[in-house]
Amino acid sequence: MTNTFPQALTIAGSDSDGSAGMQADLHTFFARGVYGASVITACVAGNSYGIHASVPMPTDFIDQEFADLAADYHIRAAKTGMLADSELINDVVKNYQQADFGPLVVDPVIMTKHGNQLLEESAFQTLRTQLLPLATVLTPNFFEVEKIAETTIKSDDDMVAAAHRMQQMGAKNIIAKGSHALPDQTMVRDFVLLENGDSFWLSQPYHATDRVNGTGDSLSACITAELAKGTPMRQAITLAKAFVNTAIGQPIEVGHKFGPINHWAAQNRDYDDIR
Ligand SMILES: Nc1ncnc2c1ncn2[C@@H]1O[C@H](COP(=O)(O)OP(=O)(O)OP(=O)(O)O)[C@@H](O)[C@H]1O
Ligand SMILES: Cc1ncc(CO)c(N)n1
């Protein structure tokens, strides 16, 4: 039987240190028992200190990557990561609309943990008008919520309002990730707004560690992997939050600064309690 094994796709940039971007996505797909394919959109050279060079892929090459996957594989869910500029966003939108790759998780990668900007400011409007309407799930971090919704978040009410604004822009389900840079923080809280209007806060313990590179990539990749297996939306989101929290909670010693998270710890955990 051909193509019966669950397959997911990451449409993202390669980060040479393996902690984030496409590499974090593929680690996560593997950890959740899903085959991972990748459309590479850009390459960044970096390590746990920062990103030091970045090269976008030519759009005709990206077109060929999509065409080759569509001709052979059965992608059941896809996610986007680094898209660099308007030209790449428009190209990915065009290709995704032609393909039949299932639900789309949009991780609107704008800024890294080191403070490197991976999406040009001039592309924010393209992101809003072209990509958000395709998003089955949108997973902005605190900074990205403020940028996309064009607001300042000072309270829970502000976050709820921003999530509704992003849903009005066309994204169906939203996980607006809360801040984790507050003094004396003990919990991290993300606001979830589902397509049917249900909403809730997801809370997990805060871990005081610098080994947090690729948390957002892994969260969105875990949701993608679960959707590829047919896990219901609410369960996929809740499981992904637990997956990332487990991976942050047992750090591995790789790199000197913002190191990777521990996908093995997250892989080995039992998620049977999550419904
Ligand atoms: N120190 C921490 N302790 C616990 N949870 C954390 C911590 N840092 C991030 N998280 C969680 O990880 C998830 C990803 O959020 P985050 O805001 O880090 O995404 P991101 O900035 O897009 O990540 P990246 O760009 O590095 O992939 C969220 O659910 C967030 O609450
Ligand atoms: C390619 C790439 N995508 C995303 C991130 C962070 O989310 C990163 N560091 N590098």
Using DSSP, state whether 146 is helix, strand or coil.
helix
CATH hierarchy code of domain 7-266: 3.40.1190.20
* % of residues, the chain, pLDDT over 90: 95
pLDDT in tens, 174-210: 999 999 888 889 999 999 999 999 999 999 999 999 9
pLDDT in tens, 132-177: 999 999 999 999 999 999 999 999 999 999 999 999 999 999 999 9
First to last CA, the chain: 30
| Cα of 263 from ligand 1 centre, angstroms | 14
Domain parsing of the chain, residue ranges: 7-266
Residue 17 has pLDDT above 90, yes or no: yes
Q: Which atom of ligand 1 is nearest to the CA of 212?
A: 8
DSSP state of 58: P
Nearest Cα neighbor of 84 from 103, 58, 65 is 58
Residue 93 has pLDDT above 90, yes or no: yes
Nearest CA residue ID for atom 3, ligand 2: 21
Token pair for 125: 């409007």
Average of per-residue pLDDT across 263-274: 96
Ligand 1 pocket test, pick from 80, 144, 177 with the greatest ligand atom count within 8 Å of Cβ, gives: 177
pLDDT in tens, 50-72: 999 999 999 999 999 999 999 99
What pLDDT, on a 0 to 100 scale, did the predictor assign at position 83? Answer: 98
Query: What distance in Å separates the CA atoms of residue 130 and residue 208, rounded to the nearest whole number?
Result: 37
Residue 1 has pLDDT above 80, yes or no: no
What pLDDT, on a 0 to 100 scale, did the predictor assign at position 10? Answer: 99
* % of residues, the chain, pLDDT over 70: 100
Token pair for 7: 């397959």
ipTM of this complex: 0.97
| Cα of 90 from ligand 2 centre, angstroms | 19
What pLDDT, on a 0 to 100 scale, did the predictor assign at position 182? Answer: 81
Residue 275 has pLDDT above 90, yes or no: no
pLDDT in tens, 236-262: 999 999 999 999 999 999 999 999 999
| Cα of 22 from ligand 2 centre, angstroms | 8
Query: What distance in Å separates the CA atoms of residue 150 and residue 265, rounded to the nearest whole number?
Result: 37
Stated pTM of the model: 0.98
